[in-house]
Structure 1
Amino acid sequence: MANKIILSADSTCDLGEELKARYNVSYYPFHIILDEKDYQDNVDITVKQIFAAYYDRKALPRTAAINIGEYVDYFKGWVKEGYDVIHLNLGGAISSAHKNCVLAAAELAESGAPGKVYPIDSFNLSTAIALQVIDAGDMIAAGLPAAEIAKRLEQNRGNVHASFLLDTLDFMRAGGRCSTVAAVSANLLSLKPCIEVDNTDGSMHVGKKYRGGLRKVLVSYVKDKLAQYPNIKRDHIFITYSSIEPELEDLVRETIRSTMDFKEIHATHASCTIASHCGPNTLGILFETEG
């Protein structure tokens, strides 16, 4: 906590326990509502339980953002002690969390607390947020003040790239995010759509549609993504998945290694919030490019 700065993020950053500890990151969990019971993401419910509920009894969870009061309660102890808080939110285009966080920060500022909260709209999701958390952690370690860190994070978020390959559209269909016809057609044709995040605003769209089994299309997807940008930063790349067979994770890792050298390749599980929208066997690679 150099410079009296707290580094924090929504639970949807999917950082993983090792990196969370390395960068001293605090989380606040999103809400998962399943069978009308409110759970905290990855606190008292798991991705495995969510998938089991759907396949056992077609029960699909709803997700809910962190509200203003929760953020106020979460931050107030720190700011009263004079800490500044850098908090990275799930993209504002897909969640109200950032808006709520901004309102909570304003409420705390009006209270006269000596510390300040800096809510950052990541314009992204999952470990694309984690990459920004790592950048913030490095800047804290370098001694930069919170206001400068917040400014640089907002300037750099367009250099963070996220995409995921979906094995099935069943969860997207069940959640009303694609039609039954599209889901059935994709399944019949063995199509695996790539969902891409627009890092200029955080919205999502469907990119390339791959045909075939996961072993084949994951290799093609990884190679396509790493070939798409000429100036990829080689410090960190994430393999993030809702669930996947270990041999497929290994295949993706080896495909990355044989294509491009990275200092660290991290593999992490998607949070319940992310996984409940995309279903099992969803996997993405997430990385940064040079500014």
Structure 2
Amino acid sequence: MSKVKILTDSSVQLTPEEIEKYNISVVPLTISIDEKTYVDGVNITRERFVEEMDSSKDLPKTSQPSIGTFMDVIDKVPDDYTDILALIMTPSISGTINAARQVEDMVDRNMEVIDTEFTDRAQGFQVIRAAQMAQEGKSVEEIKQALDELRAHTYLYMGVTSIENILRGGRLSRFAGTLSTLLNINLVLTVKNNSLDIVKRGRGRKTIEKYMNNVMEEIKGLKNIKAVGISYVDKMDYVNELKAKLEEIIPDVPLLIRVTSPVIATHAGSGAFAIEFYTE
């Protein structure tokens, strides 16, 4: 019988209770702010990071986990696990998956790296499903099939109210010339098929609000939504509006609202948020 260990990176949105309940191992990313280096979730909390970011002189720098960091986590996986399945964030955000694949080739364990094609709670949906199935004794192949199906029915919309971070971080470099000359530009982004794309742009917050009204209508029309997440950087005003709308539209669907990870906060910037959900 297979015994599969689920491993992920710290860009994922999971509660401490979920990590403990499903016995998930998390590989932390590294962040530097004004020449101070932190390890995500180890010596800095998400809330504290946002405070540091908002008051910093320079844009924080994020680093993918080193091979040594991956090894430290893997070395703690008991020998009775037959397989290690690493569910890693989309390479459109970070090169973490490249480090994971290097480790995959180096370890003397049955390890396989899965590109979740998402991050944050959208990545968390896959991690939780994989961990649930692992606890049920399912094989790696069975888990991978289920994740393919879940991934195909996952949605992620991100609102960005300040484009400075995301342009300076190079995550939308192909749009830099057209965006950098615009003042007060707001964006709605989607993450799908390992691509971070602009689906709406315009001046002022109303650009995002109008698009999110369309997302709410989309949610109304979808059947069997299983879970919703709202992640945010540092401002709760509009997040609370979205929360109220979702509780009215889909009152029985689990909803998790939490501060996003440092790597996402760094690239998305102050005022950003994301709404993520999946259907079956």
- For residue 267 of structure 1, the aligned residue among 257, 263, 269 is 257
- For residue 284 of structure 1, the aligned residue among 254, 263, 274 is 274
Could you tell me which residue of structure 2 aligns to residue 244 of structure 1? 235
- For residue 195 of structure 2, the aligned residue among 182, 199, 203 is 203
Q: Residues 232 and 64 (structure 1 numbering): CA distance in 2 closer, same or farther, change over 3 Å?
A: farther
Offset of residue 28 of structure 1 = 1.1
Q: Residues 120 and 232 (structure 1 numbering): CA distance in 2 closer, same or farther, change over 3 Å?
A: farther
In structure 1, what is the Cα distance between the partners aligned to 2:77 and 2:166? 39
**Where do 5+ consecutive residues of structure 1 fail to align?**
none
Could you tell me which residue of structure 2 aligns to residue 158 of structure 1? 152
Q: TM-score, normalised by structure 2?
A: 0.85
In structure 1, what is the Cα distance between the partners aligned to 2:208 and 2:247? 14
In structure 1, what is the Cα distance between the partners aligned to 2:210 and 2:245? 9
In structure 2, what is the Cα distance between the partners aligned to 1:262 and 1:220? 25
Offset of residue 18 of structure 1 = 3.3
Could you tell me which residue of structure 2 aligns to residue 72 of structure 1? 71
| 1:89-137 deviations in Å (ceiling 9; x for gaps) | 01133322222212212322xx3x4xx2232111111111011112213
Offset of residue 273 of structure 1 = 0.7
**Where do 5+ consecutive residues of structure 2 fail to align?**
none
2:182 match: secondary structure: helix
| 1:60-103 deviations in Å (ceiling 9; x for gaps) | 11111112232233213426343422221011333222222122
Offset of residue 8 of structure 1 = 2.1
**Would you say 1:136 and 2:130 are equivalent positions?**
yes
- For residue 215 of structure 2, the aligned residue among 195, 220, 225 is 225
Could you tell me which residue of structure 2 aligns to residue 172 of structure 1? 166
In structure 2, what is the Cα distance between the partners aligned to 1:57 and 1:261? 39
| 1:263-283 deviations in Å (ceiling 9; x for gaps) | 211112101011011112211
Determine if contact 1:172/1:277 at 8 Å carries over to the other structure: yes
Q: TM-score, normalised by structure 1?
A: 0.82
Aligned residues: percent identity? 23
Could you tell me which residue of structure 1 aligns to residue 28 of structure 2? 29
Offset of residue 174 of structure 1 = 3.9
In structure 2, what is the Cα distance between the partners aligned to 1:130 and 1:57? 29
Could you tell me which residue of structure 1 aligns to residue 140 of structure 2? 146
How many residue pairs get aligned? The number is 276
Determine if contact 1:219/1:252 at 8 Å carries over to the other structure: no
Determine if contact 2:25/2:73 at 8 Å carries over to the other structure: no
**Would you say 1:194 and 2:191 are equivalent positions?**
no
Instruction: Calculate the aligned-residue CA RMSD, in Å.
Output: 2.8
In structure 1, what is the Cα distance between the partners aligned to 2:231 and 2:222? 21
Could you tell me which residue of structure 2 aligns to residue 90 of structure 1? 89
